[in-house]
Structures are given as C-alpha cells and as structure tokens.
Amino acid sequence: MAAGIAVAVVGATGAAGQTTLRILEERKFPVRELRAFASERSVGKTVTFAGEAVPVQRLEAPAFKGVEIAFFSAGSAQSKQYAPMIVEAGAVVVDKSSAFRMDPAVPLVVPEINAHAVRGHRGIVACPNCTTIVTVMPLKPLHDAGRLRRVIATSFQAASGAGVNGIEDLRQQALAWARGEAMVPRHFPHQIAFNLIPHIDRFGADGYTGEEMKLVNETRKILEAPDLLVSPTTVRVPVFTCHSVAVNAETEEAIGAARARELFARFPGLRLWDDPAQNRYPMPVLVEGQDECFVGRIREDLSNPRALNFWVVGDQLRKGAATNAVQIAELLLRG
C-alpha cells in the first residue's frame, strides 16, 4: 500500500474547505488519497488538489470507507449528522463547526496552546471558532505569566468568516456602490460594504450573540480557566479576510507592556509587530495569507495597573480555521 493517509475534506467547495486543501499541500501533509465532499449542488464539479481535479462527492457515510482523517467545514448540522457515523466507520474527524466544541468528551484544540488535549479524543477533535483562536493566541502567554482574571474583547470580523456567500455579498455591494447602484444585502442582515454590523450569529435572551458566547466559553475551555471573566462584543466589518480583535487583558500579577512584548515575541505562532514610530502595527491587508497571528498596539491600561491593551490580527481562514485544523491532524499523526 502506498504511504500516506486517506483524507476527506467535507465542505471542500467552501471558503474554509478550499483553504484546507491549500494548507494540506503547503504543509506537505502526507495525503495518499483525497476525497472531496460538499452539498448535492456541487456534485459534478471538481476541486483541485496537488494539481489534480478531484470530483466532489455527495455527503453520505459509505463514501468514507477507508478514510482515516476527515476535515469537516460544512456547518454544524452536517457535522452533527455525519461526524459520529464517520467516526464509527474508523476515521478521526477534525471538526471546524461549533457542533461538538463544548462537549466535555471532545477536545477543543489550538496546538500551540493545548496540544496535550488531543490525546484524550474519542474520534472527534474540535477546532475552535475563528475569533476565539485569534484572541486566545496572545492570551495564553499572558495567562502563563500572570494568570488572567478578566478579558474584554471587541472583534472586527471579515466577511469571509461567513463563507463564500459573505465574500460575494461584500464584493457585489462594493461593485454596486462603484456603479452608483443600490447595495442589496443577500447574505448579511444589512449592507456590509462601507458599514459595520454588530451582530454575528443569533441573539440570546441576555442580548449577547452566539458568536460572543463562543468567545466566552471556548476561551475558558482552551485555557482550562473555567472562572475567567470574558466580556465580548463581535462585529462584522467590510474586510474580505482576517479577523482583528481589540483586547483588554487583566492579570492577577501585573505584567507591563515591555514584558508582554517579550512574551508575545517568544510564543510560537505569534508575531510581534509593534513599532508605532514607524506606523507599524498589524492590519488585515498585511496579515492575509499568513499562518501566524500578529500582535501590536501593546499598551498598559491607563485605568488599571494590572491590565494591558493590545490589538491582534489573524487570517481566520488559515490560523482561524484550516491551518489550525491541519496542525491538529499533524498532532494526530504524531500520536
């Protein structure tokens, strides 16, 4: 038998699925056979992997026979319905949806932070929400150095976080604006071009959105800090790729801006871009296409000696989704 792994990518025509195919190639993941899955609508199309056209298949359990690792990014409903069957058939599922993230039996993993959690998996490993990943990367070294007490986070999330329909909505509206035509929202609840929408996912009874509660609960689970106070606001912005987050982090022990810079610079998967005199700080247009998260604008909080303000930007299709998922699969291979 040829060396390598039989891999399935579910949601292969979508924004995260397409990026997963690219990252598997870039990182030279040992793929022996690649199978691509999407909805009924895409059967008959192909996706490209390693220079070859791969036919898109309908999502049905028998088509996964022999698959060893399956990457899921086709939405929660699909993960809930198919992932358990596919695990039953012998594959490990790396799930990008929110379906299993808060299940105590399912590890929720950012490899730079809690790689050890993968070991306890029972067939499914969950990949956190994209905004959570970008936010938690710089929080981890601060937590290790001074024990986090409270985090206030405000996100600025790209249209592609809502998938290919989100990208298309922003593109069509920008084109309509340039032609002097009406901008008609087709995917987002409001105009996204030249606008901000403080509403991602459903509102709960307390006024917080689903996206905001993911940031609260997933951050606590990944950092193994169940009592961490997290105060979130998540906002959709007219940017194609990269989520940015303005963070205020309070620790039990004061860390200070200079030490925080050192901690960020040393942490794997984080890059420090913090040179205000040179107008150097992370921005989506600079970070797009990169696998690391970039931190800058590091300041001591003027109102609280134990808190820091900073700004972190990550390509949410890469580190926020596909790169993190492929890193999890690499951990699985290492055993």
320 is an interface residue for ligand A2P by CB under 6 A: no
Residue window 121-150: x/- pattern of binding to ligand A2P, with contact defined by CB under 6 A: ------------------------------
The binder of ligand A2P chosen from 33, 39, 176, 254 (CB under 6 A): 39
Q: Does 79 bind ligand A2P (CB under 6 A)?
A: no
Residue 237 CB, shortest distance to ligand A2P, in Å, is 18
Q: Is 75 in the site for ligand A2P (CB under 6 A)?
A: yes
Name the 3-class secondary structure at 307: strand
Question: For 163, phi and psi rounded to 5 degrees?
Answer: 85, -170
Q: Which residue is nearest to ligand A2P (CB)?
A: 14
Is residue 15 close enough to count as binding ligand A2P by CB under 6 A? yes
d(C-alpha 46, C-alpha 43), whole Å: 8
Name the active-site residue from 121, 143, 243, 293: 243
Amino acid at 68: E
Regarding 165 and contact with ligand A2P (CB under 6 A), the answer is yes
243 annotated active-site: yes
**Cα–Cα distance between 30 and 5 in angstroms, integer?**
6
Rounded CA separation 135/41 (Å): 35
What is the DSSP code (8-state) at residue 226? T
Asked if residues 239 and 284 have their Cβ atoms less than 8 Å apart, the reply is yes
Distance in Å, CB of 38 to ligand A2P, minimum: 3
Binding segment toward ligand A2P, per CB under 6 A, in 37-45, 130-138, 149-157, 179-187 = 37-45
Residue 110 in contact with residue 228, Cβ under 8 Å?
no
Nearer to ligand A2P, 164 or 283 (CB): 164
Nearer to ligand A2P by Cβ, of 242 and 272: the residue is 242
| Candidate segments 93-101, 131-139, 162-170, 184-192, binder of ligand A2P by CB under 6 A | 162-170
- Based on the shown chain and the rule CB under 6 A, indicate whether residue 78 belongs to the binding site for ligand A2P: yes
**130, 143, 242, 293: which is the annotated catalytic residue?**
130
Closest CA to 269 of 218, 323, 215: 323
**34 lies in the binding site for ligand A2P (CB under 6 A):** no
57 binds ligand A2P (CB under 6 A): no
Residue in the block written with tokens 């870039």: 26
Q: For residue 210, count CB atoms less than 10 angstroms from its CB and return exposed for 0-12, middle for 13-18, buried for 19 or more.
A: middle
59 contributes a contact to ligand A2P by CB under 6 A? yes
| Helix, strand, or coil (residue 205) | coil
From the list 74, 94, 137, 295, which residue makes contact with ligand A2P (rule: CB under 6 A)?
A: 74
Alpha helices by DSSP H, the chain: 15-26, 76-88, 111-114, 130-146, 164-178, 210-223, 257-266, 284-287, 323-334
Among 14, 232, 269, 314, binds ligand A2P (CB under 6 A): 14
Torsion over CA: 27, 33, 39, 42 (sign): positive
Where in the sequence numbering do the catalytic residues fall? 130, 243
Residues that bind ligand A2P (CB under 6 A): 11-17, 38-39, 41-42, 59, 74-75, 78, 163-165
